[in-house]
Amino acid sequence: MSLDQQAIHLRRREGSETTRYIAVASGKGGVGKTILSINIGRCLAQNGRKVLIIDADFGLSNVHLMLGLTPKKNLTHFFLGDASFDDITVEVREGLSFISSGNGIYELAKLPKDQVLNLVRRLQELAEDNYDFVVFDTPPGIHDDTLTVVSSSDFPLIITTPEPTAVADAYALIKIINRESEIEDFFLVVNKVESEREGAKVYESVRILTQKYTTARINYLGSIKYRRNLIRKIIDQDPFERGFVDDVYNILSKMDLKVEKPQGGFWDRIIAGLFGR
């Protein structure tokens, strides 16, 4: 199926001007979280949407490396008053921009509450005035920052691979977010599969565990095939391999990107998460 045939229709609801937040997360590193985040942004931008990718992996930030970018300022500079929104935003291509987080939410947690509220509201206004979608590439594993961003997002998207450790860690991440934040709907992508059947088998394993031990519901978005030539594309800082992009279009076509916004909104939930620690 060609890209044109797979093109998704992302028109907003009549009268709606709502920015959507997608958090891409994983139980462990090395499963393809960052390249999925980048390609989600690209596919949405190709469909005429304005997209902002925020690299929220504070310890091992690498979105800029994959894109061949060198941001001079990051979100921490914005929070500390050392940079404007324009200073920290890097345009990747038309419709697609990127922000490196630095210490991001960690820095927010150290500031006085009134200053946090002001900064978050300002960032909310800038994001929602300029972008249709904000995609967060979160830190792998079970970190406070990951839990806050994923549980606050409209689309908590979990990526795993068929490796038993990756599957176990993905389930653990879902279980903790479900228990601590009472989030019930999750989206699952299985990367580096040899066949669609292998991806479906991984999904079934996660579904059975979550159904037995949590109240979470797993929405399976599909799988991404393992491609050897993708490694060379990443090394060349051009992470947009044709087959991978096709798979991402297929994944996005299964997401209801016109769902009603959850009660409270993304930034309200971020604030609640920060002060609820």
Q: What is the CATH number of the domain that holds 100?
A: 3.40.50.300
Longest Cα separation, the chain: 52
Q: What pLDDT was estimated at residue 17?
A: 54
Domain-embedded: residue 5: no
Domain-embedded: residue 3: no
With CA atoms as reference, report the closest residue to 242 among 255, 253, 229, 254.
229
pLDDT < 70 positions in the chain: 1-17, 57-66, 68, 102-111, 116, 119, 230-240, 257-265, 267, 269-277
Block residue for tokens 């091992």: 60
Q: What pLDDT was estimated at residue 179?
A: 95
Q: Who's near 146: CB < 8 A, 6+ residues apart?
A: 25, 56, 138, 139, 140, 173
Report how far Cα 180 is from the mean position of its chain's Cα atoms: 20
Domain-embedded: residue 245: yes
**Number of CB atoms found within 10 A of residue 90's CB:** 20
Domain-embedded: residue 10: no
Q: What pLDDT was estimated at residue 141?
A: 83
With CA atoms as reference, report the closest residue to 186 among 213, 141, 221, 162.
221
Amino acid letter at 256?
D
Going from the C-alpha of 66 to that of each of 4, 103, 177, 179, 200, the distances in angstroms are: 25, 20, 28, 34, 29
Domain-embedded: residue 70: yes
Domain-embedded: residue 185: yes
Domain count, the chain: 1
98, with CB counted inside 10 A (0-12, 13-18, 19+), is buried
For residue 161, give its domain range.
19-256+265-275
Q: Tell me the per-residue pLDDT of 13-43, one tens digit each, with 9 for 90 and over.
A: 333 458 899 999 999 888 999 899 989 998 9
Q: What pLDDT was estimated at residue 139?
A: 82
Q: What pLDDT was estimated at residue 273?
A: 67
Q: What pLDDT was estimated at residue 79?
A: 78
Q: What pLDDT was estimated at residue 8?
A: 34
